[in-house]
Structure 1
Amino acid sequence: MTVSIRLQIKTHYKDFSLKEQKIADYILENPSTVSHSSISDLSNTLGVADSTFFQFTKKLGYNGFKEFKMAMLMQENDLSAISFHENIQQTDNELTMAQKVFDSNMTTLTDTRNLLTEENLKHAVTMIDGSKRVYFFGVGGSEIVATDAYHKFLRSPIAVYHSTDFHIQLMEASLLTSDDCAIFISHTGKSRETIEMAQIAKEAGAKIIVITSHAGSPLAKLGDVVFISISEETEFRSEALASRISQLSIMDALYVILMFINREDAQKSIKKIRQSISKIKENN
């Protein structure tokens, strides 16, 4: 499946230069104008050199402006459908505000789903299934996603580990081997602590899965498999909050696929857990 220009721009936006971000903003805001204009007209409008616009299209994976413009024409409906769902106004009532938050979350999930590939999902699950141990790493808001994943994967037949403390995570990373798989979660992909842990894991030979919102980030470059979680930027909540929903969904998908692959052993694990929990509930 071809990734749309809109998603390509959103995925790489934070890695663009200021001039490239200016071009990206104009494309998203004026898709019809861009798809029916020459490179010279667009460059003059934006006050950039033709070569700058040309290199921007190359950065998105096109051979040049002609191929980019053709893709724009084919994807015009997708680009024109852009809506900043969470552009909450002072005059909005509480229900409207809540609905806009839900709309933004649904857009985040749809965009992230459209970036998934069968190849990446198969590769990631094969790495997890073939490892002796699986560790989840994340700091700050990403630690919440890592903890949720750990809580979920405890039900699987795979040995999983996670600590909420950064220093313990750092020690765990140093003890990884080529038999292990490490899953790193970071919205920006630029968290110094997470990058340090990933570098240590890489040097140890561990298999690395990265979940981030920025494809060109330092953390993404360390991953054997990288999943991109798309999110909208809003005024009163950080992108990381929106991306968390898509990151949780990516982890859910990997968990479900893994459990179906190991259906018999997975059922045994779940049965043991349910029996233990049911005893506690009965005592209460």
Structure 2
Amino acid sequence: MQSPVEGIVDRIASLASSMPEAQRAIAELVLADPGAVARLTILDLADRCGVSTGSVTRLCRALGLNGYAELRLALASDSGRTRAEPWSASIGADVAEDDGIQRIAEVVSAAITQAAVETVSRLDLEAADRASTMLATARRVWAFGAGGSSTVASELQQRLYHIGVPAWTSTDTHIALSGAALLGPGDVVVAISHSGRTKEVIDLVTEAMIHGAATIAICNDPASPLAARAELTLLTRIRQTGFRTEALATRHGQLAVVDVLFIAVAQRTFEQAGETMAAAQQAVQPYKEQGN
């Protein structure tokens, strides 16, 4: 049986989304920098998280630890192991440093397939149908994600724009917030965040809602602040894999949702989509011919 102090960071990561709010705040600080938290006193940790020392103690008990002293030892141990094993900490146990390209391809393929299949098979199709109608009839669409999710937001914006749906995106938070402030009734924001706790994304949704825009969230946690705030939530179904950051599976789960939305929107705007796609193809055709 695994000791309560072993793999403490992974255990906290797997339980964080289901923790009470005060304990989740502590967990998020721990996950951000386990080594730094290991050097804090219980009073310092509680103060930084804006919680009571009792919340810290309850978190320790929920993790099967005797108290905060044991949590500090466990975090210090995990941090030391991470520094000693940079490969497994960054990449995970699924691929070893001496594995061949065939093994790498198999692991990547399995991660992508699992992310897409589980997400689409368990997607709330009624919510996806409503979201597609909102996008197809929107006056303007603003897609936004921070970090890795920004690439998925950009993908959605380009696809919608290609079929004649006026859509914008920006990786600059100030520009995105300014854009949200100019939205209103008839406009739609699509906010993308794996955790559903990214401050920039939540702030943008809040700003858009103040001005009357509809909001759609794509995230992995139904209990997250983003899911609670958005008008509609479409959930990805990403389980923790050997890739510690879950970046690969996360991106493809989000893209699976985007694929469903895009095709459904294209159906609803069939004539317009056909005309805009034909015009776009005609515009770039000389460059394609030149490339051949």
Instruction: Give TM class, smaller chain.
Output: 0.5 to 0.7
CA-based RMSD? 2.6
Other-structure match for 1:247: 254
Cα pair distance change 1:115/1:14, threshold 3 Å: farther
Shift of 1:91: 6.7
Give, as a single letter, the amino acid of the residue that structure 1 aligns with 2:170: S
Match 1:178 to one of 179, 185, 197: 185
Residue 136 (1) aligns with residue 153 (2): no
Residue 214 (1) aligns with residue 216 (2): no
Cα pair distance change 1:279/1:164, threshold 3 Å: farther
> Contact 1:86/1:104 (CA < 8 Å) preserved in 2?
no
What does the per-residue CA deviation read over 1:214-253, in whole Å, with 9 as the maximum and x for residues that have no partner? 1111111111111111223234451233111011121111
Q: Report matched runs for 1:134-173 at 5 Å.
A: 134-173=141-180
Give, as a single letter, the amino acid of the residue that structure 2 aligns with 1:87: D
Shift of 1:279: 3.4
Give, as a single letter, the amino acid of the residue that structure 2 aligns with 1:223: A
Q: Identity of aligned pairs, percent?
A: 29
What does the per-residue CA deviation read over 1:126-173, in whole Å, with 9 as the maximum and x for residues that have no partner? 111221111111111111111111111111122111123221111001
CA distance in 2, matches of 1:107, 1:119: 22
Shift of 1:93: 3.7
Cα pair distance change 1:128/1:86, threshold 3 Å: farther
Other-structure match for 2:121: 114
Residue 277 (1) aligns with residue 279 (2): no
Q: Report matched runs for 1:27-176 at 5 Å.
A: 87-89=94-96, 92-176=99-183
- TM-score w.r.t. structure 1 length? 0.68
Shift of 1:191: 0.7
Q: Secondary structure at the match of 1:216?
A: coil
Cα pair distance change 1:220/1:14, threshold 3 Å: same
Residues paired across the two proteins, number:
211
Q: Secondary structure at the match of 1:219?
A: helix
CA distance in 2, matches of 1:226, 1:263: 25
> Contact 1:202/1:222 (CA < 8 Å) preserved in 2?
no
Other-structure match for 2:19: 17
CA distance in 2, matches of 1:276, 1:128: 25
Give, as a single letter, the amino acid of the residue that structure 2 aligns with 1:15: S
CA distance in 1, matches of 2:169, 2:267: 23
Other-structure match for 2:237: 230
What does the per-residue CA deviation read over 1:181-207, in whole Å, with 9 as the maximum and x for residues that have no partner? 000001111111111111111111111
> Contact 1:105/1:245 (CA < 8 Å) preserved in 2?
yes
Give, as a single letter, the amino acid of the residue that structure 2 aligns with 1:258: V
> Contact 1:86/1:103 (CA < 8 Å) preserved in 2?
no
> Contact 1:138/1:186 (CA < 8 Å) preserved in 2?
yes
CA distance in 2, matches of 1:214, 1:152: 25
CA distance in 2, matches of 1:243, 1:144: 12
Moved over 6 A (4+): none
Shift of 1:13: 5.2
CA distance in 2, matches of 1:216, 1:188: 10
